[in-house]
Amino acid sequence: MGKARYKTLVDAIAAEIKEGRLLPGARLPTHREFAAREGLALVTATRVFAELEAMGLVSGEVGRGTFVRDISLPSGHGIDQQDLVAAGTVDLNFNYPSLPGQTDMLRIALRQLASSGDLEAALRYQPHSGRPIERAAVARHLACRGLTVEGSDVLIVNGAQHGLTVAVMALLKPGDVVAVDALTYPGFKVLADVHRLELVPVPISATGPDLDALASLCVKRRVRAVYAMPTMHNPMGWVLDLQWRERLVEIARKHGLVIIEDAAYAFLADNPPPPLAALAPETTVYVSGLSKSVATGLRFGFASAPRKWMPAMERTVRATTWNAPAVMTAIACGWIDDGTVARLEEEKRQDATLRQAIAAKILSGLSLVRHPSSYFLWLPLEPEVRADLVAMALMRQGISVSTSEPFATSSHSTQAIRLALGSVDIPKLRQALQSVKQVVISHRDL
């Protein structure tokens, strides 16, 4: 078949979807049925479906088939679409938890900074990795998270996302294979795409990523790194046990893997097992920040890495931001030293626990994957329920949720929605969760 016929078929099906002649949720023929109907080779039929999926018009599901997406819901709706959350919308997409009094805390901190004798230093360039006194403060903070390091092993960055970027740019190169969970943090997917890394999904079970599958992958492929969230996994909420962590370290050492440990939500776990960086300090980059524990606007993060990697990471900071912002760094380290960060983390653990209890009660009867002190939960849908249709129905009620699509690293995402619980007040959260339950049940009954 010539290219013109192939394109004609893609355009024809796309037009049917856009004009509403193929409705959201409609199941398309199998690849074989479509090939037989149109007189195509199977490989060509598969190519037609792949292009429709790349256009965001359909989605394929393993074992179920290919379905028409609701195109009024943006492709990738959820974590990648923060700017689409309109004013007045109840936001269950993004977590930016804030406690009463935090605005006054910032006012006080700014006044203290203004009256300090070292204010002029904030107007000058800083050392690329941060000033020694500030790196030492972060090292003391990390000790409370079970990671004992020297200040010289710490790099101050502009938030955890920048920390991940620094690790990737300094230690990996385009084309490198990175093992990731089949459901993972969307920000790392974006980062991998920009830096042209090949992400290979590791299957997950009800209790965590399948390390046997990771070990097999390392035998078959030349895997360079593994990206992991062992403490308060996003979006699944797992806090993986010591045995799992030790096995991952064993695999990493055997195959020479760089471990990138994302601990952005780790503060929410009470007394978790040691970080991977404590178990394998010679091969792990530990990345976190204060966006979730203090405030998302406070672009202050940190990375701890083996000393042999620090020069390359410092050069990357220089190439991307030159240095961390002096004013934000001074405020953040002041709050670390005076106990403010520790207090906020404890208060937010309590707040998240309350919100999870509310969610568990309201959503009782539905399948939930969650941690009792997490700011998010995963709601798998029954096989006949489509996540994009549920998300669009909720959007019409002024409630924004994420589908599984932004988190999926395989070509076929599961039908589920992820609910962020930390960004709205308790009364609005109760109302929104009741609406979520009603919409899910109504779609299930249909």
CATH code where residue 411 lies: 3.90.1150.10
Last residue in a domain, options 338, 355, 374: 338
Order of all β-strands in the sheet with 376-380:
369-370, 376-380, 416-420, 402-403
Q: Do residues 112 and 134 both lie within one domain?
A: yes
Domain of 158 in residue numbering reads as 105-338
Which residue, 135, 112, 120, is CA-closest to 324? 135
Q: Do residues 280 and 361 both lie within one domain?
A: no
Last residue in a domain, options 291, 310, 338: 338
- Mean local confidence (pLDDT), 386-400: 92
Q: Do residues 176 and 310 both lie within one domain?
A: yes
**Integer angstrom CA distances of residue 202 from 193, 223, 332:** 18, 12, 36
- Give pLDDT, residue 67: 81
Q: Do residues 62 and 113 both lie within one domain?
A: no
Half-sphere exposure of 355 (CA within 13 A, CB side): 31
Q: Do residues 174 and 271 both lie within one domain?
A: yes
**Integer angstrom CA distances of residue 392 from 36, 134, 402, 420:** 34, 46, 10, 17
Q: Do residues 292 and 161 both lie within one domain?
A: yes
Q: Do residues 264 and 362 both lie within one domain?
A: no
Span 132-154, pLDDT tens digits: 999 999 999 999 999 999 999 99
Q: Do residues 178 and 260 both lie within one domain?
A: yes
Q: Which residue has the tokens 């904030």?
A: 122
Question: Range with the lowest mean pLDDT among 88-97, 125-134, 146-155?
Answer: 88-97
Distance CA 378, CA 417 (A): 6
| Residue 27, φ and ψ in degrees, nearest 5 | -90, 130
Q: Do residues 152 and 27 both lie within one domain?
A: no
Asked, for residue 78, whether it belongs to a domain, the answer is: no
Asked, for residue 260, whether it belongs to a domain, the answer is: yes
- Please count the structural domains in the chain: 3
ω before 235 within 30° of 0 (cis)? yes
Asked, for residue 276, whether it belongs to a domain, the answer is: yes
- Give pLDDT, residue 302: 97
Q: Do residues 317 and 297 both lie within one domain?
A: yes
- Mean local confidence (pLDDT), 376-380: 96
3-state secondary structure of 151: helix
Q: Do residues 164 and 183 both lie within one domain?
A: yes
Asked, for residue 74, whether it belongs to a domain, the answer is: no
- Give pLDDT, residue 2: 46
- Give pLDDT, residue 85: 53
